[in-house]
Amino acid sequence: MLQGTLDLLILQTLLPGPAHGHDIMKAIGQSSDQVLQVEQGSLYPALHRLIKRGWIEFDHGTSENNRRAKYYRLTPKGRKQLAVETTKWETLARAIARVLRPV
């Protein structure tokens, strides 16, 4: 997976609402039809990186099977950042597409 894309994917996944780590991973896999497989080992450092930057926060919640779990959610700052990152990514994707398939 490209450098920085994991951050973008996490932010995008959290846009609808809070989720815990495992959900985030699954959601990324499902919404990309299992094309994008998140390396689990890098998920947690990435989450903490985003916390440190102030783009996401976390709450302790009780999950469906009555266990304490950490729920990550987007901060307003993170929402803004998502827009920026998305634009950047789209620009990049278009550029790559143009290189690969010249019109």
Q: What value, to the nearest 5°, has the Cα angle with vertex 29 and ends 23 and 17? A: 40
Residue 21 as a binder of other proteins (CB under 8 A): the answer is yes
CA angle 39, 40, 46 (to 5 degrees): 90
For other proteins, the binding residue among 41, 99, 100, 103 (CB under 8 A) is 41
Site for other proteins contains 78 (CB under 8 A):
no
**36 contributes a contact to other proteins by CB under 8 A:** no
Interatomic CA distance for residues 20 and 59, integer angstroms? 10
Q: Quick one: which segment of 6-14, 19-27, 77-85, 89-97 binds other proteins (CB under 8 A)? A: 19-27
Q: Does residue 20 belong to the site contacting other proteins (CB under 8 A)?
A: yes
Question: CB within 8 A of 68, min separation 6: which ones?
Answer: 60, 61, 62
Return residues touching other proteins (CB under 8 A): 20-23, 25-26, 39-42, 44-45, 47-49, 51-52, 58, 60, 63, 67-70
